[in-house]
């Protein structure tokens, strides 16, 4: 029995954590091989489960891609919340936000290259992703505007600055290696130092980087109480080699309840992306 048995009391909770474990591992595989070069067979093989077991958790590769986007964006919102809580100026908040996001995104998912393109998503999923992405962009713009107002950031075009930063940040996965010369902390600090150098004014304190970024995302981005439980779920899933989900129809009904997947024979309203 997995070690999180005392926390996860119901089969739905166990299913939720296992599904998020599947999605995290699938995201890493897609990030490494590319979306179009990855099949569900590749994902099942990497997870050491049958393809039939995999279908208990996801319907197809596009669902994985959508969930990958949403987890990454949720992480961005958590980074913004962390910055809002600990930063005292607009400059400090923006710097903390970028440091936290670079570390968490590449440590937990390695999904930057996957989530930089929304064109492969279904139209309805694409609209949801773009709305969440716009929310994050607005938070970053607000930090820059606050910094301009409090004198810690020089007068720049906030939107242009945000697009410049995020273009660099989401590309880290394409070259980062855990076996490389620099760890994620040094990469995050070094990149943010380079990116922020053109924004800051002399009003910024020297101890701005003394605030430590937590090693794990501090909130429930992955649908588990802690990252440890999510890791345990991955182990349990691989060890069992089965889903314990009963019939395919039962598994489908559970997905409908938890993800909002439409019933067979129904379609969502179509609108332009």
pLDDT tier, 240 (very low <50, low <70, confident <90, very high otherwise): very low
Residue 265 pLDDT: 43
pLDDT bucket at 93, cuts 50 / 70 / 90: very high
Q: Is residue 5 part of a domain?
A: no
Joined tokens for residue 13: 């909770």
> What whole-number percentage of the chain has pLDDT above 90?
24
Least confident of 10-19, 93-102, 152-161, 244-253: 244-253
Name the percent of the chain lying above pLDDT 70: 67
Measured in residues, the chain has a length of 273
User: Is the CB of residue 141 less than 8 Å from the CB of residue 159?
Assistant: yes
Q: Which residues have a Cβ under 8 Å from the Cβ of 84 and sit 6 or more positions away?
A: 93
More confident residue, 109 or 194: 194
50 in a structural domain: yes
pLDDT recorded at residue 46: 83
| Spatial CB neighbours of 87, under 8 Å, sequence gap ≥ 6 | 93, 94, 95, 96, 97, 143
For the chain, what is the domain count?
1
77 located within any domain: yes
For residue 114, pLDDT over 50 is answered with yes
Per-residue pLDDT at 185 exceeds 70: yes
Q: What is the CATH number of the domain that holds 241?
A: 1.10.357.10
Does the pLDDT value for residue 233 go beyond 50?
A: no
Residue 149 lies in a domain: yes
> pTM score, two decimals?
0.69
Mean pLDDT over residues 163-177, rounded?
Answer: 83
- Assess whether pLDDT exceeds 60 at residue 76: yes
Q: How much is the pLDDT for 29?
A: 80
Residues 6+ apart with CB under 8 A from 68: 23, 26, 27, 30, 109, 111, 114, 115
Q: Could you list the residue range(s) of the whole structural domain that residue 198 is in?
A: 10-259
The pLDDT of residue 9: 53
In a domain, 39, yes or no: yes
What's the whole-number mean pLDDT along residues 24-46?
82
pLDDT tier for residue 115 given thresholds of 50, 70 and 90: low
| The predicted structure's pLDDT at residue 211 | 65
Question: Does residue 272 lie within any of the structural domains?
Answer: no
Residue 161 lies in a domain: yes
pLDDT, position 189: 87
Q: Residue 69 pLDDT > 80, yes or no?
A: yes
**What is the pLDDT at residue 242?**
44
In terms of phi and psi (left: phi > 0; alpha: psi -120 to 50; beta: otherwise), the region of 149 is alpha
Beta bridge partners of 153: 200
Residue 204's pLDDT is 66
Contact 245, 15 (CB under 8 A): yes
- Give the Cα-Cα-Cα angle 17, 69, 171 (nearest 5 degrees): 120
Task: Give the model's confidence band at 246: pLDDT under 50 very low, under 70 low, under 90 confident, else very high.
Answer: very low
Rounded to the nearest integer, the mean pLDDT of the chain is: 75
Residue 167 lies in a domain: yes
Q: What is the pLDDT of residue 170?
A: 80
Structure-derived torsion over alpha carbons of residues 104, 108, 111, 115, reported in degrees to the nearest 10: -60
pLDDT of residue 109: 65
- What pLDDT does residue 180 have? 85
């Amino acid at each position: 029995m997995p070690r999180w048995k005392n926390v996860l009391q119901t089969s739905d909770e166990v299913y939720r954590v296992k599904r998020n474990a599947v999605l995290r591992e699938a995201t890493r595989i897609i990030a490494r091989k590319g979306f179009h070069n990855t099949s569900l067979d590749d994902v099942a093989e990497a997870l050491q489960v049958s393809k039939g077991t995999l279908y208990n958790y996801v319907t197809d590769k596009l669902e994985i891609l959508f969930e990958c986007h949403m987890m990454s964006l949720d992480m961005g919102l958590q980074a913004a919340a962390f910055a809002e809580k600990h930063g005292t100026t607009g400059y400090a908040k923006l710097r903390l936000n970028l440091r936290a996001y670079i570390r968490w995104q590449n440590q937990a998912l390695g999904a930057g290259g996957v989530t930089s393109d929304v064109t492969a998503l279904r139209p309805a999923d694409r609209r949801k992703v773009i709305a969440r992405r716009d929310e994050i962009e607005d938070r970053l713009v607000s930090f820059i505007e606050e910094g301009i107002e409090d004198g810690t950031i020089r007068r720049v075009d906030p939107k242009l600055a945000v697009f410049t930063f995020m273009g660099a940040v989401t590309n880290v996965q394409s070259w980062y290696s855990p076996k490389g010369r620099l760890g994620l902390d040094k990469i995050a600090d070094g990149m943010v130092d380079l990116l922020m150098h053109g924004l800051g004014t002399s009003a910024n304190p020297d101890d701005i980087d003394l605030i430590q970024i937590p090693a794990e995302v501090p909130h429930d981005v992955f649908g588990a109480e802690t990252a440890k439980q999510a890791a345990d779920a991955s182990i349990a899933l691989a060890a069992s080699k089965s889903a314990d989900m009963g019939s395919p129809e039962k598994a489908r009904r559970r997905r409908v309840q938890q993800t909002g997947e439409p019933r067979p024979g129904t379609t969502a309203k179509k609108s332009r992306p």
